[in-house]
Amino acid sequence: MEAITNTIFNRLKAGESILPNDPEAYKLIEASFDTKKILVQMNNSSNPDEIRDFLSQITDTEIDESVTVFTPLYINYGKHTKIGKNVFINFDCVFLDLGGITIEDNVLIAPKVSLLTEGHPTTIEDRHSLIPKPIHIKKNAWIGANATILQGVTVGENAIVASGSVVLKNVPNNTIVGGIPAKIIKNIQP
C-alpha cells in the first residue's frame, strides 16, 4: 500500500524535491507524453463539450459545463490541476502542474498565461532537481494576458494580475498587482 501512496507524483504534490537520479524520475516523462496524446486531440477540437471531456481526462476530474477553454492549452501532467465552475481559460496558456494548481470558481485567465508550479535550485550541481510548490488562484480573480504566476503563489479572491506581470509573491485579496516583479498597484472594492 505504501508504494501506491508514495509515488513520485504524490511526493511532488506534497512538496518534495525530486533529484534527477530518483528511481521514478522516468515516470514524469512518460506521464507527460501520455498527457500530450490527449492534448493533441483536445487542441484540435473546436467543440466546447469535447474540449471539456478531454480536459476531464487530463485532470482526472469532472470539468463543469460552465467552464470555457479556448485551445490551445498546454499542460505537462494535468492530474494535479483542479478547476472550479464558471472558469474561462483563453488561448495559448501553459500549466506546469506537478506542484499542484487550484483554480477556484469564476476565475478569468487571459491568453498566454503561464502557471508554473515547478522550479529548480540555483546551484549548478543541483540544477536538474525539481522543486514543486502549488499555485492557488482564488475565486473571482482575473489573470491578465501574458502574465506568469510562479511556484508557491496564491492569487487572492477578486484580485487582478496585470498583463505581462511576473508574480513571485502572494497577491492579497481585492488588489491589483502589476510589473516585474509584480507589486501592488492599488486596492479594489469587492
- pLDDT, tens digit, 9 for 90 and up, residues 135-155: 999 999 999 999 999 999 999
At residue 75 the predicted structure's pLDDT band, cuts being 50, 70 and 90, is very high
Residue 6 has pLDDT above 90, yes or no: no
- How distant, in Å, are the alpha carbons of 1, 20, 108, 142, 149 from that of 135? 29, 23, 15, 14, 8
Residue 190 has pLDDT above 90, yes or no: no
Predicted confidence at residue 170, as pLDDT, reads 98
Residue 165 has pLDDT above 60, yes or no: yes
- The number of folded domains in the chain is 1
DSSP 171: B
Predicted confidence at residue 4, as pLDDT, reads 53
Residue 2 has pLDDT above 90, yes or no: no
Report the alpha-carbon distance of residue 44 to residue 57 in Å, rounded.
15
Instruction: Please check whether residue 122 is in contact with residue 102, taking contact to mean a CB–CB distance below 8 angstroms.
Output: no
Predicted confidence at residue 1, as pLDDT, reads 38
Residue 48 has pLDDT above 70, yes or no: yes
| Residue-range definition of the domain harbouring residue 121 | 2-187
Judged by average pLDDT, the poorest of 5-9, 28-32, 53-57, 102-106 is 5-9
Instruction: Please check whether residue 24 is in contact with residue 3, taking contact to mean a CB–CB distance below 8 angstroms.
Output: no
Q: Look up the CATH number of the domain holding residue 21.
A: 2.160.10.10
128 is catalytic: no
At residue 3 the predicted structure's pLDDT band, cuts being 50, 70 and 90, is very low
Owner of C-alpha cell 494576458: 145
Q: Tell me the average pLDDT across 74-93.
A: 97
Q: Tell me the average pLDDT across 158-168.
A: 98
Task: For residue 184, give the 3-state DSSP assignment.
Answer: strand
Predicted confidence at residue 189, as pLDDT, reads 86
Q: Which of 80, 120, 128, 136 is catalytic?
A: 120
Task: For residue 66, give the 3-state DSSP assignment.
Answer: coil
Percent of the chain's residues with pLDDT above 90: 94
DSSP 93-150: EEEE-TT-EEE-TT-EE-TT-EEE-EE--SSGGGTTSBEE--EEE-TT-EE-TT-EEE
Name the grid cell of 162: 496585470
